Amino acid sequence: MSRLDDCPNLSRLEWDIFGGPVGELSDLRPYEFLRHAPRVRSAVKKWREFAHEQSFECLRELDQSGRRSPLMSRVCSFWPEWPDWPYLSVPERERLRRRSILYPGDETTLIAEQLEPDPALLLDSEEGFRNAIRQLQKNWRAGRKLGLCPSDFEEHQLLRIPWWQSDTEILSIFKTWLKVNSPPGRKLSTPQGRGTFERRARADLKALAAMRVLRANDGDWMLPPALYSEQSEWINARNHAAAIIERLSQVLR
């Protein structure tokens, strides 16, 4: 694909986002979309006020201290450039340095960590105990339920694992446990292969770029860059981006 012309009213870094490195799309996508979510921006800004310095290291340290970020996306929480500056405005070397800190270890370890309990809610420290009590009180007021982080996205459960049994037997037990205990109305995401995820992420980011370009050009889709050839495509892309922003805005803890 040939290089697209510049947008006369918008920095290239604000719209030329769908060609980002494939290995960073899982961070680039939420980073850029959540820049348009006022409720998320406000929550993260309020949380950051407790940090003694607005730097990647200090914001990460704040989260690890027990005062957990309200947002599950660590790149949005810890990168001080968010939400004011585009993801790709951060130099590549610095992005790789930060991501190596956020995601240490091999792929198997990273997958396994998805089931690790939230360190901010562990009862092995006074701060963790206070956080757990606050979460229990919040959830009791909201729905008369005593649970840690019950939501459409995650929930903490204390499980007894029979290590004397084989992995196959444990998996069978856990599968049955899920059938019995899965919350009603649970929202499932469709598994995607890497190729499918890349295509969808780039298409989503291109739609977001179109929304930004239309806003910058007062709705004139004929001005460069020529992201789409038909007006209907521009409108569909703008609506698609708005729907993603609305959906991602629900990811606050």
pLDDT tens column, 189-240: 555 555 688 999 999 999 999 999 999 999 999 999 999 999 999 999 999 9
Region 170-193: mean pLDDT is 74
Q: How confident is the model at residue 113 (pLDDT cuts 50, 70, 90)?
A: low
Q: Which helix (H) or strand (E) is 241 found in, with range?
A: helix 231-248
Overall average pLDDT of the 69-88 stretch:
93
At 223, the amino acid letter reads L
CA angle in degrees (0–180, nearest 5) for 163-167-168: 135
Residue type, 45: K
C-alpha closest to that of 156 among 43, 41, 68, 39:
68
- pLDDT higher than threshold 80 for residue 157: no
Q: For residue 231, with 0-12 CB atoms within 10 Å meaning exposed, 13-18 middle and 19 or more buried, which class applies? A: exposed
- At 25-58, the pLDDT tens digits run 999 999 999 999 999 999 999 999 999 999 999 9
Higher-confidence position of 252 and 59:
59
Model pLDDT, residue 184 = 74
Residue ranges of E strands in the chain: none
